Chains A and B, each alone.
Chain A
Amino acid sequence: MDLNRRQFFKVAAIGLGGSSLAALGMAPAPAFAEQIRHFKLTHTHETRNTCPYCSVGCGLIMYSQGDTAKNVAQNIIHIEGDADHPVNRGTLCPKGAGLLDFIHSPSRLQYPQVRKPGSSEWTRVSWDEALDRIADLMKADRDANFIEKNAQGQTVNRWLSVGFLAASASSNEAGYMTHKVVRSLGMLGFDNQARV
């Protein structure tokens, strides 16, 4: 529809009147209302989180679909900055604004896998197989190479032939448990990303 300036004002004035009439309950029958796309976050569940990238610690709100019932899997469909957060006040940077793609990255690992010596491929294994294998490997090496006394006969109780690199974005709770387990085994070749 082509409108000149005069026609435009005429239609606009009618439109204004029409809206006012509609507001008084004299609305015409619904026409295209069913085709309106509802605001996609209306029926989502909000969860507060913090950004896992740099150390500013920006507050996030994650929006997920699913009614949070026990038998319903939540699916995060949107992430934005938490406006209540005193540091980021609702903003996110170019990295943080793309967090949804991190959660749903095609590179996310789904299953335990093993690459056998010399092999050029992964083989899927169960968690039991993977963890039993690691426990066996660790115990065999620890029993063979644990050092209880040094050359001077001092008690040293260390295990040097296996090492552990801890993360940079895992939670304090994960870090604390990792430390508790690793030290109880006597490991010293133990560091986290802060070293580099």
Chain B
Amino acid sequence: MQEVLNINGISKSYGPIKALQNVSFQVPQGAVFGLLGPNGSGKTTLLSIILDILKADSGSFAWFGHPGSPATRKQIGSLLETPNFYHYLSATDNLKITQAISGRGDAASIDTALKIVKLYERKNSKFSTYSLGMKQRLAIGAALLGNPDVLLFDEPTNGLDPVGIAEIRELIRELANQGKTIIMASHLLDEVEKVCTHVAIMKRGNLLTAGPVDEVLANEDIVELGSQDLGALERILQQYHGITQIKTTDHQSLQAFFPVGTASMEAINQHCFEQGVVLNQLTLKKKSLETKFFELTND
């Protein structure tokens, strides 16, 4: 698969603070790529570098196989950190500027973008009169202007109400279905898990892991088991070959961890039954992104 973005060994310091340390990863075409990390992990710094807002101390990046340039940026609809618009201009006038600079779309596509983000009715109101959520939606509208194939969203649901968040999630799904490549930084793990195909997790300027969501999450099989006598269940599981760890989750069940792809439900069930423990629960669980995230980012 062709790569839309290739980041190669990017480092950046602010004085003694190392904001990014040798970060490398690739974003394949058509991916919905989630960039995750706690506040201050370097997500926005990284996105700022690939949009030429900040200068990297070392390393390089390429969009569509070419070093970053005004021409490559024009092909990418981007929302970085905050909605940046002229306060005294209307939504339409602001998008006219976006359009004139980027060359994306035409006069009609300004209305189209405003309709998608539900600002068409307020298109002639000044930006300064908008609520936080409306400003954010205008920024998303500006990114969508002219229907670019690559979109970059830094915390796209910032300032939106629950309905707005659901709408943006739906919009991102729709865009992904159209084959667009979407790069999205977020600390809302639930959001990312619901829409992303790929994920990169960062912490204090370091890239901890990157790749397809399934690969990043599925490094272990987690089997959840329950029985009347949890003590007996735990004792017999300790004799079972291949379990790396047993955890008590609550008073009704246990979690047994296996190396990825090695847990057999039939075999476990049979083992327990033969040892005289009847299971009332047996499920193979996928690890949630949240679990993985805390696992990776907790000290």
Tell whether A pairs with B.
no
Interface residues of A (CB under 8 A from B): none
